[in-house]
Amino acid sequence: MIPKVFREVIDLGDGREISIETGKLAKQAHGSVVVQSGKCMLLCTVVSNYQQSDVDFLPLTVDYREKFAASGRYPGGFFKREARPSDGEVLTMRLVDRVLRPLFPKDYHAETQVMIQLMSHDDDVMPDAMAGLAASAAIQLSDFPFECPISEARVGRINGEFIINPTRAQLLESDIDMMIGASADSVMMVEGEMKEISEEEMAEAIKFAHEAIKVQCAAQVKLAEAFGKKEVREYQPEREDEDLAKKIHDMAYDKVYAIAKAGSSKHERSAAFETIKEEVKASFTEEELEDFGGLVTKYFYKAEKAAIRDLTLNEGLRLDGRKTDEIRPIWCEVDYLPSTHGSAIFTRGETQALATVTLGTSREANQIDMPSFEGEERFYLHYNFPPFSTGEARPIRGTSRREVGHGNLAQRALKGMVPEDCPYTVRVVSEVLESNGSSSMATVCSGTMALMDAGVQLKKPVSGIAMGLISEGDKYAVLSDILGDEDHLGDMDFKVTGTADGITACQMDIKVKGLSYEILVNALKQARAGRLHILDKLVETIAQPNADVKAHAPKMITRVIPNEFIGALIGPGGKVIQELQKATKTTIVINEDPITEEGIVEILGTNQEGIDAVLAKIDSLMFKPEVGSVYEVKVIKMLDFGAVVEYIDAPGNEVLLHVSELAWERTENVSDVVNMGDVFDVKYFGVDPRTKKEKVSRKAILPKPEGFKERPPRDNSRDNRGSRDNRGRDNRGRDNRRDDRRPREDKKED
């Protein structure tokens, strides 16, 4: 018997719906829902242990996976089983995690797992836009301590009109692709890419998405009420001691304030703060420290945070002595690495990124194979964050989710400025060498310069800046180019990238409730001023893309050939193309245009002579002589009945020059007129209707000798009784021979 099912439907306003259902699947989880739109179905389950973990943070794991069966496909690779998550899945996990995590109580440390699975796919529905809704709806049906329902929505804009959760096809026409996460009261997360939009347009897009999210949050509340809202579980809260907190605040606040105001470097400041912390701990006995556990450290950091925030709000000063809108000193350099196709260093304060560019063919494109999307990227960026960049020693266990997320942000910032007709596959790699605030934005800046150094003709240079916000009541301060410490103690961390004409990408995490759109727009405008300042520094270093790629970098030529010539260029078993690549020291890639079915030939090589040789071979294969035209040829083979000649302009294209077409006079031996290697002109007559072969003539362009008489053409008419065609069954006698034909005996006597 099918259990009772509870269901709520969300109307998207344009004929599309999203349904949230519970009661049928995964009932042993602490909360489970199925979210469906069209044929797309997500199953989300949530579980949280009832015992607190022995850690001082929330061990929350958000896992998003797409099942290949959902789209009727097999997993690629040797092992036909879903394995490690793809970058696309990791990015969706991050989007959901960033909205959920702040809504759990700060003292809730039970291990918690949110699992979202794509069970059925619909080409017209992008599942990542519903993952946040599914996670929050499942939590609402559980007994977790969770502040309020949230949801996420994608917003696009087509022809000036905003649209919620557009299809992938609609996104191709949209100038905005933003994901917004929010509760009914507050926007909490924004991430996306844009085509150079203004700050006001970005704020309008966020508002539009927030209105749709409010409806989705209300639907979750109704579903939980219908299902039966569970009592929130009890858990062991962290120990608190207000008297101890006040005591430590009084001991540390002024000292921290003074050090923060001194404007020292990261390591000096960290060492000074550590000294104050040790002094505070030294004021307690060993028994007290053992009794208080980690409270002393906790309250010290609380006092430290309060002092630094107050310094900024009261005096407009920051930890390194800068004003709120001041950018740290910047220096840049391009062409630093001699062997790469392009390279650049960007250093801003204590943050440094070294970017490299590698150019390749379509064979090097990044293949994306997900159940919800198959395709390839001809421009992609990878971001590496080694532990030495922050002065730490720790094991490296593969690419972290953070590295995937920051690399994706920088890629989205730059990709719109790479021309559509760029023939190369372009890979940018950012190596973060120092980090104290926004290495992802340093990656955008170094990536821009490295691309220009490599000769990629960027439409416009792109810069990026990380911003912060500190607010208390009616007072607030927007911080430009934040430090790592300011990232942790602020109320908003947002990164904005763009050209001189508008925003190309953003990533925001808003920690304060009810942030007004006025403050948001003001913060974005201050970010624009800082972004333009940084852009000026980039342009001072390299004003425009290099006119050509470097001498040691591969040159790329693309040639389109008709479909019927693809086989000839490849050759039997690939013999022709392999020998051509070896002889010319080039890489040749042939793709077929899915629409025109023409062959798109990519020729990559460092030697222009080799590229020219490949082009000549292609021209040769595609050579089609025109009837009536004269061509220069070379004799390449001598035969009894003629000479085989090769077109000089199309090596490899051969044609027979019959002995009868060598000269006006009768030719007994071919070598009497031409020899091997001779070069001369011939006239092309097309396909001879009698022999069905191409016909060329040397004699046709030679002057006719004086007094020359041509033989009369053979008469093939059927009414000529002497013709061979006129022979019938009754006309086969010897007496029917032509009168002018001499007897065999007479011929022998001659």
Q: Which has the closest alpha carbon to 490: 466, 524, 516, 460?
A: 466
493 assigned ligand-binding residue: yes
Indicate the SS3 state at residue 722.
coil
> How wide is the angle at C-alpha 437 spanned by C-alphas 434 and 439, nearest 5°?
60
Q: Report DSSP state, residue 116.
A: E
- What is the largest distance, in Å, between two alpha-carbon atoms of the chain? 143
Burial of 380 (C-beta count, 10 Å sphere; 0-12/13-18/19+): buried
Alpha helices in 542-663 (DSSP H): 566-570, 575-584, 608-621
- Which tokens hold the place of 638? 């001598």
Residue-wise DSSP of 20-35: EEESSS-TTSSEEEEE
Burial of 171 (C-beta count, 10 Å sphere; 0-12/13-18/19+): middle
In degrees to the nearest 10, what's the CA dihedral of 67, 88, 459, 595?
-10
The pairing of strands 694-697 and 679-687 is antiparallel
Q: Are 550 and 341 in contact (CB under 8 A)?
A: yes
In degrees to the nearest 10, what's the CA dihedral of 68, 69, 74, 76?
10
Q: Report DSSP state, residue 323.
A: B
Per the listing, tokens 């009768």 go with: 666
Q: Report DSSP state, residue 553.
A: S
Q: How far apart are alpha carbons 232 and 693 in whole angstroms? A: 90
The pairing of strands 176-183 and 679-687 is unpaired
Instruction: Give the contacts of 22 (CB within 8 A, at least 6 positions apart).
Output: 5, 6, 7, 31, 32, 33, 34, 137, 141, 223, 227
Q: How far apart are alpha carbons 409 and 444 in whole angstroms? A: 9
Q: How far apart are alpha carbons 541 and 488 in whole angstroms? A: 32
Q: How far apart are alpha carbons 366 and 568 in whole angstroms? A: 29
Q: Bin 520: left if φ > 0, else alpha if -120 < ψ < 50, else beta.
A: alpha
The pairing of strands 6-11 and 40-52 is unpaired
241 assigned ligand-binding residue: no
The pairing of strands 161-164 and 642-647 is unpaired
Q: Bin 373: left if φ > 0, else alpha if -120 < ψ < 50, else beta.
A: beta
Q: How far apart are alpha carbons 363 and 602 in whole angstroms? A: 10
Angle between helices 128-140 and 199-227 (to 10 degrees): 40
- Other Cβ atoms less than 10 A from the Cβ of 624: the count is 7
Sign (positive/negative) of CA torsion 337, 338, 342, 344?
positive
Which residues are known binding-site members?
Answer: 487, 493
- Tell me the binding residues for Mg(2+): 487, 493
